[in-house]
Amino acid sequence: MLEVNDISVSFGGLKALSNVSFKIDCGINALIGPNGAGKTTLFNVISGFLKPNTGYVKYNDFDITALPPYEIFKRGISRTFQNLNLIKEVSLKENLYLGIIEKMKPSLLKDMLRTSKPFWKNVEAKIEEVMEITNVSKWGDLKPESAPYGVLKNFELARALISQPSLLLLDEPAAGLNNSEKENLANIINKITSMGIDVLMVEHDMSFVSNLSKYVVCLNFGCVIGYGTYKEIRENEDVIKAYLGDIDA
């Protein structure tokens, strides 16, 4: 379970988050709201890239608020980012090594000489597995500049998945995708959750959210203005006024 309690974040005189609290248990959940609502700021707090001014975050009843990102990563929380961060000089498959080496930590000498055969055999197997899960196996030998944007988004997801997280934070996973790519992504996310991995995603595409999410949290101006099922959120007057528009639309 992820528990966010009374989280506030200020940047100078600007309050980005104000007393944000909610809990998510399992399955697929979404964090929605207008641009500037504080969604990515909250993701940065949960993943340890930003420390809050007040409040705490617990994961599986353990307080992770003060932990650095690599420690939160070790505890089973992995994430993607809005902007793709793939290394253009190496192949897409080689990019996936970054998602696993830090967590498994072979000795530096064996890493450099690639003499730890069981380790690298295991790594190769995991890479092949996540490429199959995310439907990108045929693209692995290409460099990022040679692959379509939708494929690159799936490789970003694969890199987060390869560390075998128990909670996956997806920052706008459907942004920039066409309808076919969104359908493919939805199938991948459902496949991931069937493996016992929970998902919290920031997303603007309400059709995508409504078809996937168990619960939805809505932020506006750094505050929670709605929490519940998509149906409950869609009927919430505060959410309609701030974000979703006319309830009959």
How do residues 61-90 score in pLDDT, each as one tens digit? 999 999 999 899 989 999 998 888 788 888
Q: Which two three-digit tokens encode residue 144?
A: 């990022």
The C-alpha atoms of residue 193 and residue 173 are separated, in whole angstroms, by 15
The C-alpha atoms of residue 86 and residue 2 are separated, in whole angstroms, by 28
- Name residue, tokens 């942004």: 175
Query: What's the pLDDT score for residue 223?
Result: 95
The C-alpha atoms of residue 33 and residue 154 are separated, in whole angstroms, by 24
State the angle between helix axes of 149-161 and 179-194 in degrees (0 to 180), rounded to the nearest 10.
10
Domains for the chain: give ranges and CATH numbers: 1-76+167-249 (3.40.50.300), 83-164 (3.40.50.300)
pLDDT per residue as tens digits for the range 202-240: 999 999 999 999 999 999 999 999 999 999 999 999 999
Please name the residues in contact with 13: beta carbons below 8 A apart, sequence gap of 6 or more.
Answer: none
> Which residue in 90, 100, 84, 99 sits closest to 141, CA to CA?
90
Q: What parts of the chain have a pLDDT lower than 50?
A: 108-109, 112, 246-249
Percentage of the chain beyond pLDDT 90 is: 66
Query: What's the pLDDT score for residue 249?
Result: 36
